[in-house]
Structure 1
């Protein structure tokens, strides 16, 4: 059975993210894509546009001292332009570590990602790990 093209797109995004390949990530996002992050940490909020999203990804990597990695467990398309991706992420920050299941809900139009909604198992733990909003 072949992989649905929307799932393959999301898988390419996860691979590029884990490699720190922002150039490839840029090609997968529409210019006005929005990434929504829950909670009240320094990273929480709505990031609109490729530049803002990629800058936030860079900040995440920097805060984690390069330790951030995400294991994709599955990418499930609905055949109508959405993919639910389930993963576990790992990171270290100072003397603290985090291992958290979560997921991303992608909206895809014309073979590009237009919207990303992020979900985590424990918003309070995630907020504590990334630190308070500035």
Structure 2
């Protein structure tokens, strides 16, 4: 059986690949200028990041705080054919003397072939908050 990937799923897959390789220009090209990313919890990495520049700065902070060890392994990408994609993954990183590995997911809204909104979910919000540290 041949697998034909939905265009919205292909867009999200390209985003994960660009994130993993540090390709910020490709990431920028996949998002609307007013895209929003919503991260759960109450840590320094939690909140609502509005605009592509703020989202890319947020991604940069993930890398900075983990000294470049932050990685994401995609487990599945599931489009609904109506402008939404759910992606599940496993993420890990090291920060100081501790590491973390956790399942999570992103719920994407796609408008006009670009990501306009991303809602992030993690398996254990309290553990994620403890890893990232308190909001500043």
Q: Deviations for 1:46-73, whole angstroms, at most 9, x for unmatched residues?
A: 0000000000000011001000110001
Superposition pairs of residues 11-90 of structure 1, within 5 angstroms: 11-90=13-92
Q: CA deviation at 1:118?
A: 0.1
Alignment size in residue pairs: 134
Displacement of 1:95 in angstroms is 0.7
Q: Which runs of 4+ in 1 moved over 6 A?
A: none
Question: Gaps spanning 5+ residues in structure 1: where?
Answer: none
**What whole-Å deviation, never above 9, does each CA across 1:12-43 have from its counterpart, x for those lacking one?**
00011111111110000000000000100001
TM-score, normalised on structure 1? 0.99
Aligned equivalents of 1:130, 1:28: Cα separation in 2: 27
Give the TM-score, by structure 2 length: 0.97
Q: What RMSD over aligned residues (CA atoms) do the two structures have, in Å?
A: 0.5
